[in-house]
């Protein structure tokens, strides 16, 4: 195990240490041309150093900002470190951001250089280049398609490294100067600026220092005993703080290996080949995986399906208890063991989860049913509550205190309190230093004594002593008659159904609750195939009466479960519709981290919302959509609205005499 | 940053010339005295209404049909009778209007099959898969993987071709043709039956193949938008006869072409 040397207070310093202490151990892998290519820590240093010196030759210097745009590639992680070694500040940008969004971030951060993955990103930058007066150079990783481009500002990654290597070879002082530059880095230097896809308004550049991220990384590594033999797979956006911590800072701090998948589509196969041991993912990833499992099982033969159903019920009954080390009857243990041999083991293996020691879900509340499903299979899935402003970690669940409804206890070094309004406030060494060039909004969120307003409503659950998040403070509302309405709570219940990909609950300030639903094309498409439902497009499938029947049935079940809870019983869904298009970040309907932007959706689909509340059974809508390349088009549809039964609230329980 | 959007047609030397080719099936005259050439590095489109003889033309070029008269000059060497196998060995690869893949085999194996011509080791060595044969297979696998990467089909590498959607199968077929590292690539309706997005993808791949690998391409296509965007020069057939041979813009305005497509000279669109 590496000793936690506290003088190593920047990531480049950690790299120098790893190249010495872990020289031949794997640092990063990338599946390329069908084969896993590995770079050791020593080789990583070599790559980073050459690129870093090359960047210096291009004019990148201390204090400059530079953009990193693309997928999870070793070279882009190296670029981050190479820039940091010079004292420059990386600004990762979501690779799927449209040119407009990208222009805003690049201009706001005044980046002087961009390291991008491929032609797609080069094109996007070219499209908005006239607005980026600071941007002098664009470095690209993949040359494909760029041959005919004007190379005035463009330069290949290899070319930069070659310049660096030549400089190293010709100038004897170069190496010493580079290492001196690293030594001159301080823990108070900015480590990164992460632009958060805020649910409202322009995105904000969260500034994190090396101190913020390294202390948080060390604490997180210690909390889950992460050491150099962990394997993680990097497939979440580079611009997400979770990926920056997990695939970069924590890896450099603990010395574990990060694996970059071949393509975003091959993650499941790649994960299976690697057998990752640690994971952090938003609930959506687990939801998608569950959908995939359920769809595959629905296609399986009758015997397999029967076995699956039977052992799943065994797992639901006993799995979590066994995982938590509770006492269970011997027969249950035997049955579970058999299930593990026949179903759970192979299932976990199929999805590359056999070696998982710790898996976290974070970013948004996870449906309790989804959460329990994984735990029932014996996966140590835990909840974590984090924010970009906190270098991720605010609260996390210790191994033996896992609960589906809560998000854990304050992480090491973090203080948490609840404001009078019910908002969660926290303070920690990981807390950011401010939003870049935005002191006003910084002041709104960060108090002078270091507390951060999270914007989330929550409370400490008296039963478990853990934090429970209900919703965003501004989203928790009430119906006209004063009934509590927590939209996310209802949406999560809907989203547990594999057929429902996304749901939007509306009701604040209104007479009753309505829902707009997105079907999941994978699940519903497969259902349609099995049931001979013919459709020509997503839109046609979404509007199919049989699909409506199916969704109505799901909503009916949700209402039934809402009716069982006293507080929520008044917020049952009365009317619903199925949307004709998938909610999409390009249209501003989801954030880049796939959270729904309810306010924007309600505005955008106002004719539908109106129809939901004025009793019509049909509504006409025309929506503008943005294609992946930024072009715009419109899509029109006539959408059916259905009423749905609600259930009476339970009679208040009589206190039973003792 | 991007170079000029119009493509500079740098016409190379003639790679393949069709000279006065006629082809008849019994009483049906499929091709009548057709002549045109394909130059190195260009994308050449062959268009025409249904039954104009486009596919017959490709079949003549790759040796599947023998012309009744006329000759084909490929790389400066005239030939009259040629087998498809010899054409393939000479560097002509093709894809088909109706897919001709091995449906039960994986994508990887299908593309690998395109390398068969390049395998030098004999049957015996291949069978025991050791020594030189293994080394050779590794080399070819690398080439195949580069194509898989190029066509962005890594995610379906191990999936049976028969289970894939049509658009992807078309891409696999292109991959198999590319695996031969051809000098001339013949594409028979590469976009047939595709939706807009798939067509855009395929167009990009065709352009990239042409630019990155420098492969000369001759394609048959019905989608005029695609033809106009992709090709450097267009030859138009109607009832087995060549009625035009020019750049896309010129062909668009050609009276004969408009008449062939619309019957009446009303508009310029197909």
For A356-415, the pLDDT digits (tens) are 999 999 877 787 778 889 999 989 999 999 999 999 999 999 988 888 878 999 999 999
Residue-level pLDDT at A657: 42
Q: Using the predicted structure, report yes or no on whether residue A44 has a pLDDT greater than 60.
A: yes
Q: Which residues of B touch A122 (CB under 8 A)?
A: 1
Residue length, chain B? 270
pLDDT in tens, B17-41: 999 999 998 888 899 999 999 999 9
User: For residues B268 and A226, which has the higher predicted lDDT (pLDDT)?
Assistant: A226
- The position carrying tokens 């039963």 is A463
Q: Which helix (H) or strand (E) holds A258?
A: strand A257-260
Q: Does A149 touch chain B (CB under 8 A)?
A: yes
| pLDDT band for position B62 (cuts 50, 70, 90) | confident
Collapsing DSSP states into helix, strand and coil, what is residue A471?
strand
- The position carrying tokens 């992709």 is B230
When CB atoms are compared, the residue of A122, A144, A153 closest to B212 is: A144
| pLDDT band for position A213 (cuts 50, 70, 90) | very high
Supply A422's token pair.
Answer: 């019910």
Edge-to-edge strands, sheet with A231-233: A35-40, A26-32, A257-260, A231-233
Angle at B84 between CA B81 and CA B85, to 5 degrees: 110
Supply A581's token pair.
Answer: 């298009």
Q: Using the predicted structure, report yes or no on whether residue B98 has a pLDDT greater than 80.
A: no
Average pLDDT over residues A63-71: 96
Point out the least confidently predicted range of A123-127, A228-232, B76-80. B76-80
Shortest Cα–Cα distance, A151 to chain B (Å): 7
pLDDT in tens, A345-366: 999 998 888 999 999 998 777 8
Q: Using the predicted structure, report yes or no on whether residue A448 has a pLDDT greater than 60.
A: yes
Phi (first) and psi of residue A428, to 5 degrees: -165, 170
- CA B24, CA B67: separation in Å to the nearest integer? 8
pLDDT in tens, A257-304: 999 999 988 898 899 999 999 998 888 888 888 888 888 888 888 999
Residue-level pLDDT at B121: 66
Collapsing DSSP states into helix, strand and coil, what is residue A371?
helix
Q: Using the predicted structure, report yes or no on whether residue B270 has a pLDDT greater than 50.
A: no
Residue-level pLDDT at A160: 97
When CB atoms are compared, the residue of B3, B145, B155 closest to A33 is: B145
Task: State how beta strands A113-116 and A35-40 pair.
Answer: unpaired
Average pLDDT over residues A635-654: 80
Q: Does A449 touch chain B (CB under 8 A)?
A: no
Residue-level pLDDT at B26: 85
Q: Does B148 touch chain A (CB under 8 A)?
A: yes
Supply B3's token pair.
Answer: 């170079």
- Give domain limits for chain B: 12-91+182-270, 104-179
Collapsing DSSP states into helix, strand and coil, what is residue A64?
coil
| pLDDT band for position A111 (cuts 50, 70, 90) | very high
Q: Using the predicted structure, report yes or no on whether residue A654 has a pLDDT greater than 70.
A: no
Share of chain A above pLDDT 70, in %: 97
Q: How far is CA B267 from the centre of its chain?
A: 29
Point out the least confidently predicted range of A188-192, A471-475, A641-645, B106-110. A471-475
Nearest alpha carbon to residue A82 among A148, A30, A15, A152: A15
Average pLDDT over residues A535-551: 93
| pLDDT band for position A425 (cuts 50, 70, 90) | very high
Q: Using the predicted structure, report yes or no on whether residue A566 has a pLDDT greater than 80.
A: no
Shortest Cα–Cα distance, B101 to chain A (Å): 22
Q: Which residues of B touch A123 (CB under 8 A)?
A: 2
| Residues forming a β-bridge with B79 | B72
Q: Using the predicted structure, report yes or no on whether residue B58 has a pLDDT greater than 80.
A: yes
| Residues forming a β-bridge with A116 | A69, A140
Q: Which helix (H) or strand (E) holds A299?
A: helix A283-299
- CA A174, CA B105: separation in Å to the nearest integer? 55
Supply A499's token pair.
Answer: 């057929």
User: For residues A650 and A146, which has the higher predicted lDDT (pLDDT)?
Assistant: A146
Residue-level pLDDT at B268: 47
- CA A194, CA A185: separation in Å to the nearest integer? 20
- CA A447, CA B157: separation in Å to the nearest integer? 53
Q: Using the predicted structure, report yes or no on whether residue B2 has a pLDDT greater than 70.
A: no
Q: Does A150 touch chain B (CB under 8 A)?
A: yes
Shortest Cα–Cα distance, A132 to chain B (Å): 13
User: If you average pLDDT over every residue of chain A, what do you get?
Assistant: 90
Q: Using the predicted structure, report yes or no on whether residue A223 has a pLDDT greater than 90.
A: yes
Average pLDDT over residues A484-508: 88
Phi (first) and psi of residue B46, to 5 degrees: -115, 115
- The position carrying tokens 């990531």 is A11
Architecture of the domain whose range is B12-91+182-270: 3-Layer(aba) Sandwich (3.40)
- CA A134, CA A436: separation in Å to the nearest integer? 16
Task: State how beta strands A137-140 and A113-116 pair.
Answer: parallel
For A536, nearest residue in chain B (alpha carbons): B195
| Residues forming a β-bridge with B125 | none
Contacts 24+ apart (CB under 8 A), A544-551: A545/A640, A547/A519, A547/A578, A548/A578, A548/A640, A548/A642, A550/A499, A550/A524, A551/A499, A551/A500, A551/A517, A551/A519, A551/A576, A551/A578
Most confident of A154-163, B96-105, B185-194: A154-163
For A136, nearest residue in chain B (alpha carbons): B1
Residue-level pLDDT at A623: 86
Q: Does A34 touch chain B (CB under 8 A)?
A: yes
Average pLDDT over residues A615-642: 86
> Does the distance separating the beta carbons of A150 and B2 come in below 8 Å?
yes
- CA A596, CA A602: separation in Å to the nearest integer? 11
Q: Using the predicted structure, report yes or no on whether residue B206 has a pLDDT greater than 60.
A: yes
User: Which of B142, B147, B153, B155 to mutate to test binding with chain A, by most A CBs within 10 Å of its CB?
Assistant: B155
Phi (first) and psi of residue A427, to 5 degrees: -145, 135
Q: Does B26 touch chain A (CB under 8 A)?
A: no
Which residues lie below 8 Å from residue B23, measured CB to CB, with a gap of 6+?
B29, B30, B31, B53, B56, B60, B65, B67, B68, B240
N-to-C CA span, chain A:
56
When CB atoms are compared, the residue of B3, B142, B155 closest to A33 is: B142
Residue-level pLDDT at B11: 62
> Does the distance separating the beta carbons of B208 and A263 come in below 8 Å?
no
Nearest alpha carbon to residue B149 among A142, A517, A500, A163: A142
Q: Using the predicted structure, report yes or no on whether residue B6 has a pLDDT greater than 60.
A: no
User: For residues B183 and B85, which has the higher predicted lDDT (pLDDT)?
Assistant: B183
Collapsing DSSP states into helix, strand and coil, what is residue A240?
coil
| pLDDT band for position A230 (cuts 50, 70, 90) | very high
User: For residues A316 and A3, which has the higher predicted lDDT (pLDDT)?
Assistant: A316
- CA A513, CA A483: separation in Å to the nearest integer? 10
Point out the least confidently predicted range of A524-538, B57-71, B130-144, B152-166. B130-144
Nearest alpha carbon to residue A318 among A305, A334, A303: A334
Q: Is A144:A119 a contact under the CB 8 Å cutoff?
A: yes
Shortest Cα–Cα distance, A408 to chain B (Å): 37
- CA A418, CA B197: separation in Å to the nearest integer? 50
Collapsing DSSP states into helix, strand and coil, what is residue A22?
coil
Neighbours of A380 (CB within 10 A): 16
ipTM over 0.95: no
Shortest Cα–Cα distance, B233 to chain A (Å): 20
User: For residues A251 and B64, which has the higher predicted lDDT (pLDDT)?
Assistant: A251
- Cβ burial, residue A165 (10 Å; 0-12/13-18/19+): middle
Neighbours of A403 (CB within 10 A): 17
Residue-level pLDDT at A625: 83
Residue-range domains of chain A with CATH? 11-275 (3.40.50.12780), 283-433+455-470 (no CATH), 477-643 (3.30.300.30)
Q: Using the predicted structure, report yes or no on whether residue A199 has a pLDDT greater than 60.
A: no
> Does the distance separating the beta carbons of B155 and A263 come in below 8 Å?
yes
Q: Which residues of A touch B146 (CB under 8 A)?
A: 33
| pLDDT band for position B4 (cuts 50, 70, 90) | very low
For B146, nearest residue in chain A (alpha carbons): A33
Supply A633's token pair.
Answer: 């088009």
> Does the distance separating the beta carbons of B3 and A148 come in below 8 Å?
yes
Angle at A418 between CA A416 and CA A421, to 5 degrees: 155
Residue-level pLDDT at B120: 67
Residue-level pLDDT at B264: 59
Supply A474's token pair.
Answer: 């501004």
Shortest Cα–Cα distance, B168 to chain A (Å): 14
Which residues lie below 8 Å from residue A449, measured CB to CB, with a gap of 6+?
A427
Neighbours of A386 (CB within 10 A): 27
Question: How many beta-carbon pairs under 8 angstroms link A with B?
Answer: 50
Q: Does B211 touch chain A (CB under 8 A)?
A: yes
Average pLDDT over residues B201-229: 90
């Amino acid at each position: 195990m590496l000793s936690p040397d506290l003088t190593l207070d920047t990531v480049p310093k950690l790299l120098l240490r790893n190249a010495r202490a872990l020289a031949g151990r794997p640092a990063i892998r990338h599946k390329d041309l069908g084969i896993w290519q590995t770079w050791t820590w020593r080789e990583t240093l070599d790559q980073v150093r050459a690129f870093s010196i090359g960047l210096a030759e291009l004019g990148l210097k201390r204090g400059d900002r530079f953009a990193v745009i693309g997928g999870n590639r070793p070279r882009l992680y190296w670029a981050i470190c190479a820039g940091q070694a010079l004292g420059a500040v990386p600004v990762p940008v979501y690779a799927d951001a449209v040119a407009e969004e990208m222009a805003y971030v690049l201009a706001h951060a005044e980046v002087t250089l961009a390291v991008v993955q491929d032609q797609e990103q080069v094109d996007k930058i070219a499209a908005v280049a006239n607005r980026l007066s600071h941007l002098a150079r664009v470095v690209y990783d993949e040359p494909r398609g760029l041959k005919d481009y004007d190379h005035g500002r463009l330069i290949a990654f290899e070319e930069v490294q070659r310049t660096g290597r030549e400089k190293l070879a010709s100038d004897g002082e170069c190496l010493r100067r580079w290492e001196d530059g690293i030594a001159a880095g301080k823990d108070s230097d900015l480590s990164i600026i992460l632009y958060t896809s805020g649910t409202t308004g322009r995105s904000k550049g969260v500034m994190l220092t090396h101190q913020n991220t390294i202390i948080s990384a060390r604490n997180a590594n210690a909390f889950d005993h992460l050491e150099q033999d962990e394997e993680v797979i990097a497939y979440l956006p580079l611009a997400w703080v979770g990926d920056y911590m997990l695939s970069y800072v924590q890896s450099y701090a603990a010395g574990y290996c990060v694996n970059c998948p071949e393509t975003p589509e091959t993650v499941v196969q790649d994960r299976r080949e690697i057998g990752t041991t640690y994971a952090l993912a938003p609930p959506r990833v687990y939801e998608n995986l569950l959908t995939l499992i359920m769809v595959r099982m629905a296609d399986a033969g009758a015997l397999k399906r029967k076995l699956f159903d039977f052992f799943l019920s065994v797992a639901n009954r006993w799995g979590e208890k066994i995982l938590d080390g509770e006492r269970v009857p011997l027969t249950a243990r035997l049955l579970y063991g058999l299930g593990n041999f026949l179903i759970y083991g192979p299932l976990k293996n199929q999805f590359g989860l056999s070696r998982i020691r710790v898996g976290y879900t974070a970013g948004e509340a996870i449906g309790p049913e989804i959460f329990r499903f994984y735990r029932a299979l014996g996966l140590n899935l835990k909840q974590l509550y984090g924010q970009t402003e906190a270098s991720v970690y605010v609260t996390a669940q210790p191994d033996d205190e896992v609960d589906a409804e809560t998000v854990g206890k304050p992480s090491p070094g973090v203080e948490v309190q609840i404001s009078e309004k019910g908002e969660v406030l926290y303070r920690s060494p990981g807390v950011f230093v401010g939003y870049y060039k935005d002191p006003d909004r910084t002041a709104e969120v960060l108090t002078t004594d270091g507390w951060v307003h999270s914007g989330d409503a929550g409370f400490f659950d008296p039963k478990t002593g853990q934090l429970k998040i209900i919703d965003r403070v501004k989203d928790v509302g009430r119906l006209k008659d004063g009934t509590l309405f927590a939209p996310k709570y209802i949406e999560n219940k809907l989203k547990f159904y594999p057929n429902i990909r996304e749901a939007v609950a509306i009701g604040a300030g209104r007479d009753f609750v309505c829902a707009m639903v997105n079907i999941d094309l994978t699940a519903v498409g497969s259902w349609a195939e099995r049931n001979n439902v013919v459709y020509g497009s997503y839109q046609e499938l979404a509007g199919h009466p049989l699909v409506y029947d199916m969704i109505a049935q799901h909503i009916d079940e949700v209402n039934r479960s809402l009716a069982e809870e006293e507080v929520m019983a008044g917020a049952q869904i009365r009317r619903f519709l199925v949307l004709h298009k998938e909610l999409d970040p390009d249209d501003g309907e989801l954030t880049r981290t796939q959270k729904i932007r309810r306010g924007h959706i309600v505005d955008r689909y106002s004719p539908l919302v109106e129809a939901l509340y004025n009793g019509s059974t049909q509504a006409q809508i025309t929506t503008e959509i943005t294609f992946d390349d930024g072009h715009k088009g419109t899509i029109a549809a006539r959408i059916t609205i259905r009423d749905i039964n609600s259930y009476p609230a339970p009679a208040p329980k009589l206190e039973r005499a003792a | 940053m991007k170079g000029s959007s119009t493509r500079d047609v740098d016409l190379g030397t003639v790679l393949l010339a069709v000279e006065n080719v006629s082809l008849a099936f019994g009483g049906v005259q499929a091709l009548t005295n057709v002549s045109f050439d394909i130059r190195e590095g260009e994308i050449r489109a062959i268009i025409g209404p249904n039954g104009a003889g486009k596919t017959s033309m490709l079949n003549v070029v790759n040796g599947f049909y023998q012309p009744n008269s006329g000759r084909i000059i490929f790389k400066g060497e005239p030939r009259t009778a040629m087998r498809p196998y010899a054409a393939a060995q000479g560097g002509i690869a093709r894809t088909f209007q109706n897919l001709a893949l091995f449906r039960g085999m994986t994508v990887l194996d299908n593309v690998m099959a395109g390398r068969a011509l390049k395998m030098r080791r004999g049957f015996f060595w291949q069978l025991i898969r050791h020594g030189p044969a293994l080394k050779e297979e590794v080399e070819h696998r690398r080439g195949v993987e580069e194509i898989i990467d190029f066509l962005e089909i890594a995610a379906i590498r191990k999936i049976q071709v028969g289970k894939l959607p049509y658009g992807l199968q078309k891409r696999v077929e292109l991959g198999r043709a590319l695996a031969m590292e051809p000098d001339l690539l013949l594409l028979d309706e590469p976009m047939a039956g595709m939706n807009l997005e798939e067509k855009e993808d395929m167009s990009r791949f065709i352009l990239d193949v042409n630019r990155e690998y420098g492969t000369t391409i001759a394609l048959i296509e019905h989608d005029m938008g695609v033809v106009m965007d992709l090709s450097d020069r267009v030859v138009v057939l109607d009832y087995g006869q060549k009625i035009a041979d020019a750049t896309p813009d010129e062909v668009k305005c050609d009276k004969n072409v408009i008449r062939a497509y619309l019957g009446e000279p009303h508009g310029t669109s197909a």
